Amino acid sequence: GAGVSQSPSNKVTEKGKDVELRCDPISGHTALYWYRQSLGQGLEFLIYFQGNSAPDKSGLPSDRFSAERTGGSVSTLTIQRTQQEDSAVYLCASRSTATNEKLFFGSGTQLSVL
Amino acid sequence: AQSVTQLDSQVPVFEEAPVELRCNYSSSVSVYLFWYVQYPNQGLQLLLKYLSGSTLVKSINGFEAEFNKSQTSFHLRKPSVHISDTAEYFCAVTPLNNAGNMLTFGGGTRLMVKP
């Protein structure tokens, strides 16, 4: 596609439920990042995928958070047993390591945990 | 809705020279403002932010930005740059109200510091 696509754009869920957030990066981009932003806060790094290397999971806040990237393309961020503090905007970004290091962001998924 | 404009996509500068990276925004509501930096082969990092109070905010590595409400700007400055400052810099805003906390980024400015 023309840009990084995230779905859904908005997700409202009940505390304790599991949610899946999807990111479809720009075709050919080998690097993919997940970030989240809570109200009034800066961007918080969550996880980073680069090609076939093991992902950098150092930013995941708890073991309720996990992410996969299938076939080096689409990524899914899963939050199990959601808590109210998980409410935030979850941003995905991708970049090509070939010749361009510019980071392209999706429009985000706004998650609200009630 | 908010929008952020970074007027310069690339800024080449010699080491120890001053630099200003420009950021203008538009918003129908009050916003928080941020500068993020992405060093080569790394993810984004928060450089500094303006939430309230003094309009001049500073980072630990010598950068500062001043919020100018009348000009809707949040330009980033450093009086003397180092080679290690070579990176891409993103200006971003998020609305204060609870209607949404979506972060809106500018297109980025690549700072290239030359020896």
pLDDT tens column, B72-113: 999 999 999 999 999 989 898 877 764 334 567 787 888 999
Task: Give pLDDT tens digits for A55-83.
Answer: 888 889 999 999 999 887 999 999 999 99
> What does the alpha-carbon distance between residue A1 and residue A21 come to, in Å, rounded to a whole number?
18
What pLDDT is attached to residue A107? 77
Segment A10-22 mean pLDDT = 97
Q: Which residues of A touch B105 (CB under 8 A)?
A: 105
Is A98's pLDDT higher than 70? no
Structure tokens at B41: 């082969």
Q: Is A101's CB within 8 Å of B41's CB?
A: yes
- pLDDT > 70: what percent of chain B? 90
CA dist., res. B17 & res. B92, Å (int): 25
Indicate whether A100 pLDDT > 50. Answer: no
- What value does the mean pLDDT of chain A take? 86
Q: Say yes or no for a CB contact (<8 Å) between B103 and A89.
A: yes
Contacts of A13 (CB under 8 A, 6+ apart): A19, A82, A111, A112, A113, A114
Of A13, A85, A75, A24, the residue nearest A47 (C-alpha)? A75
- Please, what's the b/e burial string for B27-59 (b: 16 or more CB within 10 A of its CB; e: otherwise)? beeebbbbbbbbeeeebbebbbbbeeeeeebeb
Higher local confidence (pLDDT), B2 or A7: A7
Q: Is A1 on the interface with B (CB under 8 A)?
A: no
